[in-house]
Chain A
Amino acid sequence: DGGITQSPKYLFRKEGQNVTLSCEQNLNHDAMYWYRQDPGQGLRLIYYSQIVNDFQKGDIAEGYSVSREKKESFPLTVTSAQKNPTAFYLCASTSGQGGYEQYFGPGTRLTVT
């Protein structure tokens, strides 16, 4: 059953702690993305990776970090430097070969108190 998985669905952290969100895909897609979504708003791009061992900053990369050591995995770390980390985080992937359609995971809701 192909798709994108994100874990956990809900995550709670104390302020000042780093937290890593998981994203795995078995679609054999080259490109992967992380978005942040705040209530009643659209999707804002945090980081994206077109290929293994390479990634680029999106529109709101400050306070976040990523790695892409394997094609299937693109974890996102929300660091203590992110001023307002509470949000819904979405991971997506695309084949990257002329196809633009991005397939989304179910999302992780992060709450930092």
Chain B
Amino acid sequence: GESVGLHLPTLSVQEGDNSIINCAYSNSASDYFIWYKQESGKGPQFIIDIRSNMDKRQGQRVTVLLNKTVKHLSLQIAATQPGDSAVYFCAESGDSSYKLIFGSGTRLLVRP
């Protein structure tokens, strides 16, 4: 899920399939993680969050999985729809209770 330079990694899925977007986080002290969706030209929108005392949390059509052993976070979107096409960012709390550290994002493209 982390990008290199100016090129966002892109995940292309067929409409109706499940999507899995991955993110490697950096700070083992992080106790809060969050996923945002950003559509072109708009501000990020909250999707789902999870605290470090959990390894899975489900929302409507979305599930976040946390693996603290390998510092990995994933976002699963069930039955992906065209409206899910966007850039998805993960973020972690790091050492701070006030700041979030954002990943570089993954672009999700949904093919009709």
Contact = CB atoms under 8 A, between A and B. Distances in A.
Interface string A95-113: 0101011111111010000
Contact of B104 (A41, A101, A106, A107): A41
A104 B45 contact: yes
Given A48-B99, A50-B98, A40 B3 contact: yes
A90 B43 contact: yes
Give the interface size class of chain B: 20 to 34
3 smallest A-B Cβ distances: which pairs? A104-B43, A42-B104, A43-B102
A19 interface: no
Contacts of A104: 36, 43-45
Contacts, number: 56
Contact of A100 (B7, B8, B34, B105): B34
B43 A41 contact: no
A48 B98 contact: yes
A90 B36 CA distance: 14
12 contacts: A39-B6, A40-B8, A41-B6, A41-B105, A43-B102, A48-B99, A50-B98, A98-B97, A100-B97, A100-B100, A106-B43, A107-B42
A103 B43 CA distance: 9
